[in-house]
Amino acid sequence: MPKFQYPEEPRLPFETKIVPTETGPVEVYIIPEEKKAEVLALLFPFRPIPSLKRVVEDIHAEKKFKIKDFMVTREDGMNMLVSPYYFESGGTVIDWWL
């Protein structure tokens, strides 16, 4: 049976940097502060969209952070909204305790 593959998402209009990890390189967008709210509104999967000033917890890292400190990675053709602790714990937006 062929493996299901999601359609590739369009890339965000920002430069990226490559971050080496134990499982291989990960592409991370460099998002200007003034564009953070726009990107959050685009990628946040729930409603209402929280304020960038809101403090949440990455339940995998068991650490709190302000939403404005989020990162977006580009992996397997998808833009992933992740916590600033993503590289230590793997926490994505669905792992944020609001």
Please tell me what DSSP assigns to residue 18: E
Q: What is the mean pLDDT of the chain?
A: 95
Side by side, the strands of the sheet bearing 16-19 are 16-19, 26-29, 71-75, 78-82
Please, which pLDDT band fits residue 1 given cuts at 50, 70 and 90? Answer: low
> How far apart (Å, rounded) are the C-alpha atoms in residues 6 and 32?
28
Cβ atoms of 53 and 67 within 8 Å: the answer is yes
Q: How far apart are CA 34 and CA 74, in angstroms?
A: 20
Pull the structure tokens for residue 1.
Answer: 């049976």
Q: Give the whole-number percent of the chain exceeding pLDDT 70.
A: 99
* Each residue's pLDDT tens digit, 24-65: 999 999 999 999 999 999 999 999 999 999 999 999 999 999
What are the boundaries of each domain within the chain? Answer: 16-97
